[in-house]
Amino acid sequence: MDKQKLILRIAKLLALSRGNQNEAEAYAALCKAQELALDARISFEEVEQAEEKNDQTEPTEEGIASGKRYVIWKSQIARICAKNFRCEYFLTPGWRTYPTRYIFFGMPLDAASCAEAFKFALRVCEQLYTDYQIETAGYYGKTPKGLKLNYTRGFTDGLAKAFEKNVEDKALIIVKPDAVITAYREKQKDFTTLRSSARMGSMGEGYAQGFKDGNTATNQHERIRA
């Protein structure tokens, strides 16, 4: 992990330690921040400067390209991440050789964190679905119709529930900066509505496994292939 990303992670851990009403979890976050800082020889002054710069600068965009077609479950994951990282979200659809870009609009540290969380969630969903699809096809002799749509709907529902529980357990209050809200309203004036025939899945075959995997997505680092 490069230095800038480490500073970003340490800043988030410090923010968690300061805003957490659970003393044990606040202390754990602070200790983890200190451990990362010492291992990478990053001073807390550098982290504080990054936080100050984040508060003083204007909102920015962090875009992630992912495939040419607009995909509902990817958009749903993007919305969930944006909500939990104090960002707004929009996309630019793919066209010819240009990929679809999922864009997060927020303060620099928030937008960068949101983009990283989004990329990781996509990898978790894609890889765990592939494992599940192989297992299911082996059982039925073929892949059941609509399996991925159902799985990804379950995954996004499970991911949203995991974030909600995390916020409740840690007594966190997520407040989107006024600067982000105001700037985004201006940006929206130039938006157009995306028309798509993409479908969402149902709560049929695959939904339960998707929900389980999405609900534990943040703990899946060891299972995800590089």
Domain coverage including residue 52? 3-56
Quick one: residue 171, left, alpha or beta (phi over 0 = left, psi -120 to 50 = alpha)?
Answer: left
Rg (CA), the chain: 19
- Report the pLDDT value the prediction gives residue 170, as an integer from 0 to 100: 63
CA angle, 79 then 84 then 87, to 5° = 65
Where the chain has pLDDT below 70, the residues are: 1, 16-31, 34, 44, 53-56, 170-173, 195-202, 218-226
Are 146 and 219 in a shared domain? yes
Are 113 and 204 in a shared domain? yes
- Report the pLDDT value the prediction gives residue 35, as an integer from 0 to 100: 72
Residue type, 87: C
Cβ(3)–Cβ(42) under 8 Å? yes
| Global confidence as pTM | 0.75
- Report the pLDDT value the prediction gives residue 22, as an integer from 0 to 100: 60
- Report the pLDDT value the prediction gives residue 226, as an integer from 0 to 100: 47
Instruction: Provide the number of structural domains found in the chain.
Output: 2
